[in-house]
Amino acid sequence: MVVPLTHVIGLSAILFAIGTIGALTRRNLVVILMSIELMLNAVNLSFVAFARAWGGVEGHVFVLMVITVAAAEVAVGLGIVISLFRNRDSVDVEDVSLLRW
Amino acid sequence: MVTELEWLRWIPLLPGAVAATHGVLLGLLRRPLSRGATIFLSCGAVLGSFLLSLAALWQLISLPEGKRFLGDTVAPWIGAGRFSADIAFSLDPISAVMILLVSGVGLLIHVYSIGYMDHDLRDDKGFPRFFCYLNLFTFSMLVLVLADNLPLMFLGWEGVGLCSYLLIGFWYSDRWNAYCGAKAFVVNRIGDFGFLVGIFLLFTAIAGVLPPERANEAVVFRQIEAVFPLIAEKTIQLPHWLGWLPGAPEWKLATLIGLCFFVGAAGKSAQIPLYVWLPDAMAGPTPVSALIHAATMVTAGVYMVCRMSFLFAEAPGASSVIAWTGGATALFAATLALVQTDIKKVLAYSTVSQLGYMFLAAGCGGYSAAMFHLLTHGFFKALLFLGAGAVILALHHEQDIEKMGGLNRFIPWWRPTHLCFLVGVLAIAGAPGLSGFFSKDEVLLAAYTAEHVPGHRWLWGMGLATAGLTAFYMFRLHFRVFFGAPRMKDAAKHAIHEAPSTVTTPLVILAVLSALAGLAGLPQLYGDWLQIANSNSLANFQAQALASAHVHEVPHVVEIQLALAAVSVATLGGLTAWLLYLRRPELPEKLAAALAVPYRLLRDNYRVDEFYDRVLVSPLVWISERVLWKGVDDRLIDGVAVLGTARSVQRLASHGLKYAQSGLTQSYLVLMLLGATAVVAYLLG
């Protein structure tokens, strides 16, 4: 069974929207990181879908890149979150608005 | 037509190279040459130039008459569109006379400076620096004289102006000297502006009539002269607001160009109204006054007018302006010289006056008379300045003639300092037989016969009056310095000594030249008596290079009458000086008291400096300071443009933009998202 391209792109869009809303509305830093991960994977999905539909390999290559960068980003991001939690006993973004006017 | 002479370039380049050597050692390496090496190099280079000049003159004379023209193209220099100029030198009869004057008198003054500067050094580095400037001056002056085209002449013109500035302010630690140097430079710039405009006008006019492939020759003197007849009759329309000028609304282009050139000449040669820098230029060391501000640089304007004589001969309007300016300057400066008490100031005003003579002759069409007087004046005025320098040295830097007097007792008349000074005085006063007599007569004759100049008899009268005044003030100077009761302090009396031989030797040579140089241009009148055909060898020699228009032959009887008139007026002047300063020494004070108002006016130099200050300098300084500096620069550029931008950015940021920096991560995220959406929306159209 071949899934039509539009379905996959639709799924990708839904996932991206969920990720965006999560990143914008949640206060917990860990959840925000997860939401960003969701957005990245939504994009990965559309890359793969287009690559498959048009028979290129650039999409696959990009996905591998994104996965690598996402892994690095999570490592750094979670490291910051842990360090933040140790210092302030909180992972709430509203508690870390020090760099402001 | 042009004979190549490939070593012609070394005449200016020898002193130029030495000046450059001094410059590198002094300025870059800070290791000035020793005294001996300085003398060897600097004087050697000028000696070399002089010998080469003699050899070049020999080459020139060996060519047939009318074809005496030597050229040397060194390198291409400027090329821009149709305009191009080469570094090229050329020698013709008038430049040959000039290079001999410049390198010859220059050599004597270099030698003189050795002795003079030894007694007048104010810091240890002065000696090589002084000779560096002198060499640079000699180089520039020779470039000016030998230049084959107008731009190169302008280069030399600016070069001598620069050296004049450097040497007037040689003892720059004294603020007054630095001020005088700057004044000379600024006043000269006004003249240079006119000169430049003249060059541009002439270039456009000449380039317009030359075929395009030869347009690059439009600045070469020889070429200009050859094609000048094509534009001689060209006219220009004056704008309406200049309708009051004589000859308006249509002027000959040649007249306009000639006037522009004359503005340049008036600046360099200290003519009314730009003469004010020359008296102040006396702040420089005395050898400088002799070389630059008497014998050579200040005559550059006269030389330029003679070099362009083919143009001025076609521009009667410009020529009349030159003649009247020259005549007025001659008389005006002579009256000022009457009351000066600084020995060098007397000579400075005398120089202005004699330069006026030269312009009077040139304006009346007597170009060879102008060149003749230029030559003899170069000798006798250099002699007078060097003699004054020797007097100043003898009295340990006393320049005020009120504190001299009776020098005859310490330096009797047969000593070189005294005798040479006397020869100079007699020569400039026009004593028969000496050089000044012949050249002054030629000048007066040119004015007397110049029927194409309006009011030429008046000009002659002014020249004659000037001759009388000249004799008066020169004898006054001589009597005040050498005769009467000594007016210096007793301590100074015992220290009076004559200058060393490096100082007196040039004096003697110049005295001989001042006495005999007149024979080079002996008028035919005396030649007939002595049964010499073509006795006026100088004029005959230069005839090829000078326009000969408007030379009227007068009967010998008239010539004799004119000469007699000049001599009797000069004798009258001399006798008056004798009466006032030797016979009845109490008279001058009474006279000054009786004529208090004119006397004060003369002592204040007609308040011309004050007038310029009030009318030109002060408003200019006011505009520069209040409008340009405090207004445009401080308020507009600094205030509005620079600080205004910074202040408005600061205000904008601190009152609005800073709230974007909320510190809330998610607000940044929202903004980022909005931005990305906007970009995508734009790209999708």
Neighbouring residues of B415: CB distance < 8 A, sequence distance ≥ 6: B498
Q: Which residues in chain B have Cβ-Cβ distances shorter than 8 Å to A94?
A: 664
Asked if the structure places residue A95 within a domain, the reply is: no
Overall average pLDDT of the B527-555 stretch: 76
Tokens matching residue B408: 């005859």
Q: Which residues in chain B have Cβ-Cβ distances shorter than 8 Å to A17?
A: none
Q: Which residues in chain B have Cβ-Cβ distances shorter than 8 Å to A93?
A: 664-666
Instruction: Specify the pLDDT at position B551.
Output: 59
Least confident span in B215-229, B302-316, B365-379, B618-632: B215-229
Distance from the B182 Cα atom to the nearest Cα atom in chain A, whole angstroms: 57
Q: Which residue of A has its CA nearest to B668?
A: A24
Strand partners, B149: B220
Instruction: Specify the pLDDT at position B647.
Output: 93
Percent of residues, chain B, with pLDDT higher than 90: 51
Q: Which residues in chain B have Cβ-Cβ distances shorter than 8 Å to A100?
A: 661-664
CB atoms within 10 A of CB B204: 14
* Residue of A93, A94, A101 with shortest CB distance to B661: A101
Overall average pLDDT of the B336-360 stretch: 93
Q: Do A93 and B664 touch (CB under 8 A)?
A: yes
Q: Do B666 and A23 touch (CB under 8 A)?
A: yes
Return the higher-pLDDT residue of B60 and B489.
Answer: B60
Asked if the structure places residue A98 within a domain, the reply is: no
Instruction: Specify the pLDDT at position A37.
Output: 94
Q: Which residue of B has its CA nearest to A36?
A: B669
Q: Which residue of A has its CA nearest to B666?
A: A24
Instruction: Dump pLDDT digits (tens) for B454-478.
Output: 888 999 999 999 999 999 999 999 9
The count of domains in chain A is 1
A 33-92: CB under 8 A from B? none
Which amino acid, A83?
Answer: S
**DSSP conformation class of B239:** P
Distance from the A5 Cα atom to the nearest Cα atom in chain B, whole angstroms: 21
Element holding B74 (H helix, E strand):
strand B70-80
Asked if the structure places residue A97 within a domain, the reply is: no
The CATH code of the domain that includes A71 is: 1.10.287.3510
Q: How does the average pLDDT of chain A come out, rounded?
A: 92
Peptide bond into B287 cis (omega under 30): no
Which amino acid, B547?
Answer: A
Instruction: Specify the pLDDT at position B120.
Output: 63
Least confident span in B304-308, B387-391, B605-609: B605-609
CB atoms within 10 A of CB B597: 7
CB atoms within 10 A of CB B228: 19
The label of the residue with tokens 């007026």 reads: B569
Instruction: Specify the pLDDT at position B111.
Output: 92
Instruction: Specify the pLDDT at position B662.
Output: 85
Dist. CA B40–CA B566, nearest whole Å: 45
Instruction: Specify the pLDDT at position B425.
Output: 94
Least confident span in B127-141, B345-359, B397-411, B434-448: B397-411
Is pLDDT of B247 > 90? Answer: no
* Residue of A97, A99, A101 with shortest CB distance to B658: A101
Instruction: Dump pLDDT digits (tens) for B157-201.
Output: 999 999 999 999 888 888 999 999 999 999 999 999 999 999 999
Percent of residues, chain B, with pLDDT higher than 70: 98
Q: Which domain holds residue A76?
A: 5-90
Query: Is A97's Cβ below 8 Å from some Cβ in B?
Result: yes
The band of B124, judged by pLDDT with boundaries at 50, 70 and 90, is low
Distance from the B684 Cα atom to the nearest Cα atom in chain A, whole angstroms: 17
B 612-671: CB under 8 A from A? 658-659, 661-666, 669-670
Neighbouring residues of B475: CB distance < 8 A, sequence distance ≥ 6: B425, B429, B573, B574, B577, B578, B581
Overall average pLDDT of the B71-86 stretch: 86
Neighbouring residues of B126: CB distance < 8 A, sequence distance ≥ 6: B117, B170
The band of B528, judged by pLDDT with boundaries at 50, 70 and 90, is confident
**Interface contacts A/B by beta carbons within 8 Å:** 30
Distance from the B682 Cα atom to the nearest Cα atom in chain A, whole angstroms: 20
Q: Strands B235-237 and B250-252: what pairing?
A: antiparallel
Overall average pLDDT of the B365-374 stretch: 91
Instruction: Dump pLDDT digits (tens) for A25-64.
Output: 999 999 999 999 999 999 999 999 999 888 889 999 999 9
Q: Which residue of B has its CA nearest to A27?
A: B666
Query: Is A23's Cβ below 8 Å from some Cβ in B?
Result: yes
Q: Which residues in chain B have Cβ-Cβ distances shorter than 8 Å to A77?
A: none
Instruction: Specify the pLDDT at position B3.
Output: 81
- In contact, B354 and B375? CB cutoff 8 Å: no
* Residue of A24, A98, A99 with shortest CB distance to B666: A24
Q: How does the average pLDDT of chain B come out, rounded?
A: 89
Distance from the B190 Cα atom to the nearest Cα atom in chain A, whole angstroms: 60
Is pLDDT of B121 > 70? Answer: no
**DSSP conformation class of B3:** E
Q: Which residues in chain A have Cβ-Cβ distances shorter than 8 Å to B669?
A: 23-24
* Residue of B659, B661, B666 with shortest CB distance to A93: B666
Instruction: Dump pLDDT digits (tens) for A88-99.
Output: 899 998 888 888
* Residue of B658, B664, B669 with shortest CB distance to A94: B664
Query: Is A20's Cβ below 8 Å from some Cβ in B?
Result: yes
The band of B125, judged by pLDDT with boundaries at 50, 70 and 90, is low
Return the higher-pLDDT residue of B586 and B512.
Answer: B512
Instruction: Specify the pLDDT at position B650.
Output: 92
* Residue of A24, A94, A97 with shortest CB distance to B669: A24
Q: Do B670 and A100 touch (CB under 8 A)?
A: no
Asked if the structure places residue A101 within a domain, the reply is: no
Q: What Cα–Cα distance (Å) separates residue B337 from each residue in B305, B348, B352, B469, B475?
A: 26, 8, 10, 9, 12
Interface test with A, best of B658, B664, B667, B671 (most A CBs within 10 A): B664
Q: Which residue of B has its CA nearest to A32?
A: B666
Q: Which residue of A has its CA nearest to B665?
A: A93
Overall average pLDDT of the B335-344 stretch: 91
Instruction: Specify the pLDDT at position B407.
Output: 84
Q: Provide the CB-side half-sphere exposure for B89 (13 A, CA).
A: 26
Instruction: Specify the pLDDT at position A98.
Output: 81
Q: Do A93 and B665 touch (CB under 8 A)?
A: yes
Distance from the B643 Cα atom to the nearest Cα atom in chain A, whole angstroms: 24
Dist. CA B377–CA B105, nearest whole Å: 11
Neighbouring residues of A11: CB distance < 8 A, sequence distance ≥ 6: A45
Overall average pLDDT of the B360-385 stretch: 92
What are the backbone dihedrals phi and psi of residue B413, each rounded to the nearest 5 degrees, phi first? -65, -25
Q: Do A100 and B661 touch (CB under 8 A)?
A: yes
Cβ-based burial of B1 (10 A; exposed 0-12, middle 13-18, buried ≥19): exposed
Distance from the A3 Cα atom to the nearest Cα atom in chain B, whole angstroms: 27
Instruction: Dump pLDDT digits (tens) for B203-214.
Output: 888 888 888 777
Interface test with B, best of A31, A94, A100 (most B CBs within 10 A): A100
Instruction: Specify the pLDDT at position A2.
Output: 80
Is pLDDT of B26 > 90? Answer: no
Q: Which residues in chain B have Cβ-Cβ distances shorter than 8 Å to A101?
A: 658-659, 661-663
* Residue of A20, A100, A101 with shortest CB distance to B673: A20
Q: Do A101 and B673 touch (CB under 8 A)?
A: no
Dist. CA B111–CA B129, nearest whole Å: 15
